[in-house]
Structure 1
Amino acid sequence: MSGRHSGGTGRGLRISALPQTLKVIFKLAPRQLTDEIALAKAEIKRKGTQLGVAGAFFAVALVFVALLVIGLMVAAIMGLATIMPAWLAALLVSAVCLIIAAIGALIGLRKFKAVMPLVPEDTLRGLRYDLGIAKEGSAFDARVLDPNSEQYKAAKAAKEAAAAKARAEREAKAAAQPELGPAPTEAELRHRLDQRRTNLTGARDDLGRELDLKTQAQTLLAATQARLQVGKAQLSDKIAGFGSSARSSAGTPTSADVQNLAGQLKDRWKPLAVLAASAAALAVLVRRLMKG
């Protein structure tokens, strides 16, 4: 997507453009969110690769630490070999290591068994029980929570069948979708996000201008003043035309002509007076809004 949103406000009232502006925003926002998620996945993948490289260096360091421990063990054996046979020194060091390893393994195994299983079974069972009560009420059978009961096995089989059916539907839906081509690169995602962000900025600015009461009032006031000036000019032309026609006539104008002219002037000035009063009231309102 390219180009900036060109829904400018212009000189006239643009409240009618509000639906189109909102349509642009609602159209671009989901795409922007989708690309943001795709960009986040790309960043996580890139950082995961970097983390893997760092882990490889840590593994190399651990290998050399293990070699260091082996060297220390050899040094201990050779040190004891100065006061006893070498084979006895090696056997003694190995026995000490075996005893330490056995003690640590036994303690760890006992503590590990004490906390098994790792999942909070009682809490999960209570949640399942509460959900069952909420769904079925008194008809809920608590035996479906017992792994050794037939009800539990039947419910598990039904759940697995439903999961398999849902998986098959997802696979069929994925196979029916057209090929969208290769996934965009991180640079392409950033470029698309910048362009769409520019479009959203333009749409948001247009929306703000369209909903700005001061701007709309100023536009309405300017249009009213322009119409008032046009009306005054037309009235002046009419009066000048009546005057020239009266002077060019052969006789003196009658009272009927004078009354007709006065009636026409009265009919012309009434809407102009109303228009002028409305413009004055609107000007006062705009000034108060600007001061506020």
Structure 2
Amino acid sequence: MLDAAKTATRLLPRQINDEIALAKLELEHKKSKVSGVAIFAALALVFTVLLVIALVVAAIAGLATVVPLWLSALIICAALLVVVGISGLIGYKKFKSLLPLLPQQALRGIRHDIGIIKEGRDFDPSSLDRVELTKEQKKAAAAEADAAAAKAKAERAAKEAEHGPKANENELLARTAARREHLLGLREDLVSEADVKKQATYLVDTAKTRARETINLAASGAVGQAVETAKERWKPLAVLAVSATVCGLLLRKLLKK
């Protein structure tokens, strides 16, 4: 039973890893389909832009019936430039009013609470304020981050090399199916062993109960027999005591007369 449990413990992580790999492959298939949808959406956007251009050209041609063609084009461009400038200015002001995008006060309060929980009154709230780094410090931090990322990538590549070449979808399906059957057999073995253990426990409990009942019956029989023996022995003694008492009373009366 212990070996089956160990085997199941060893197989379950592998099964989960293969299921994750299957999910990644499925996402890759969907990604290819999504890329096709994105291509058609980009084509629609391109034709929409062409439609807008055609409308602008039509507006220029219509205005050219009143003023010269070059002047009508400049007028349309100036109008579009004004619209773009106004829209950009409004968008910039709205975006600037939202900065910073994250709720800084709420995040600072959460970090403050965590610091108090960890350190108590020894916590320094000034440590929550962001320290502006110099260019050299920023470069050093970026270099450390790049080195850590390269190290993690190398470790991941070494781990993948230990496990061998990456399995394809068919191999993953076959491997997960075989491991699933193995896990099913292990479960059946564990269930059968648990049933045998329950039956053995039931038999042992039944034997203990019967032995206890036998001991109780034997003890009660012995007590009853001892009581009967005591009764048989004390009857003559009781008769003798009564007789002696009667004789004493008669003798006393005779002596008084």
**1:211-269 Cα distance to aligned partner (Å, 9 max, x none):** 347x9759x99xxxxxxxxxxxxxxxxxxxxxxxxxxxxxxxxxxxxxxxxxxxxxxxx
Counterpart among 180, 185, 208 of residue 197 in structure 1: 180
TM-score by length of 1: 0.58
Quote the residue 2:233 is aligned against: none
Is the Cα contact below 8 Å between 1:125 and 1:145 reproduced in 2? yes
Counterpart among 119, 123, 126 of residue 102 in structure 2: 119
Is the Cα contact below 8 Å between 1:78 and 1:86 reproduced in 2? yes
Matched, 1:132 2:115: yes
Is the Cα contact below 8 Å between 1:143 and 1:149 reproduced in 2? no
Which amino acid is the alignment partner of residue 27 of structure 2? I
How far does residue 162 in structure 1 lie from its aligned partner after superposition?
A: 8.5
Which amino acid is the alignment partner of residue 45 of structure 2? L
Instruction: Give the number of the structure whose residues are more often helix, by fraction.
Output: 2
Gaps of 5+ in 2: 212-257
Structure showing greater radius of gyration is: 2
State the distance in 1 between where 2:157 and 2:122 align.
41
State the distance in 1 between where 2:158 and 2:21 align.
22
How far does residue 88 in structure 1 lie from its aligned partner after superposition?
A: 2.5
Matched, 1:34 2:21: no
Quote the residue 1:69 is aligned against: 52
Secondary structure class of the residue paired with 1:181: coil
Secondary structure class of the residue paired with 2:51: helix
Q: How many residues align?
A: 203
Counterpart among 91, 98, 101 of residue 84 in structure 2: 101
Gaps of 5+ in 1: 1-17, 151-155, 222-273, 279-292
Matches within 5 A, 1:37-52: 37-52=20-35
Which amino acid is the alignment partner of residue 21 of structure 1? A
Cα distance change of structure 1 residues 34 and 74 upon mapping to structure 2, 3 Å threshold: same
State the distance in 2 between where 1:135 and 1:165 align.
30
Counterpart among 171, 178, 190 of residue 188 in structure 1: 171
Secondary structure class of the residue paired with 1:211: helix
State the distance in 2 between where 1:185 and 1:135 align.
48
Cα distance change of structure 1 residues 86 and 102 upon mapping to structure 2, 3 Å threshold: same
Which amino acid is the alignment partner of residue 49 of structure 1? S
How far does residue 176 in structure 1 lie from its aligned partner after superposition?
A: 6.1
Which amino acid is the alignment partner of residue 65 of structure 1? T
TM-score by length of 2: 0.65
Cα distance change of structure 1 residues 172 and 124 upon mapping to structure 2, 3 Å threshold: same
Quote the residue 1:59 is aligned against: 42
State the distance in 2 between where 1:183 and 1:20 align.
29
Between the two proteins, what is the percent identity of the paired residues? 45
Cα distance change of structure 1 residues 179 and 29 upon mapping to structure 2, 3 Å threshold: closer
Quote the residue 1:230 is aligned against: none
Matched, 1:86 2:93: no
Cα distance change of structure 1 residues 191 and 183 upon mapping to structure 2, 3 Å threshold: same
Counterpart among 2, 5, 8 of residue 25 in structure 1: 8
Cα distance change of structure 1 residues 169 and 76 upon mapping to structure 2, 3 Å threshold: closer
Cα distance change of structure 1 residues 108 and 171 upon mapping to structure 2, 3 Å threshold: closer
**1:134-172 Cα distance to aligned partner (Å, 9 max, x none):** 22222222222222479xxxxx99998996886576467
Cα distance change of structure 1 residues 196 and 182 upon mapping to structure 2, 3 Å threshold: same
How far does residue 20 in structure 1 lie from its aligned partner after superposition?
A: 2.8
Cα distance change of structure 1 residues 170 and 82 upon mapping to structure 2, 3 Å threshold: closer
Quote the residue 1:250 is aligned against: none
Which amino acid is the alignment partner of residue 188 of structure 1? E
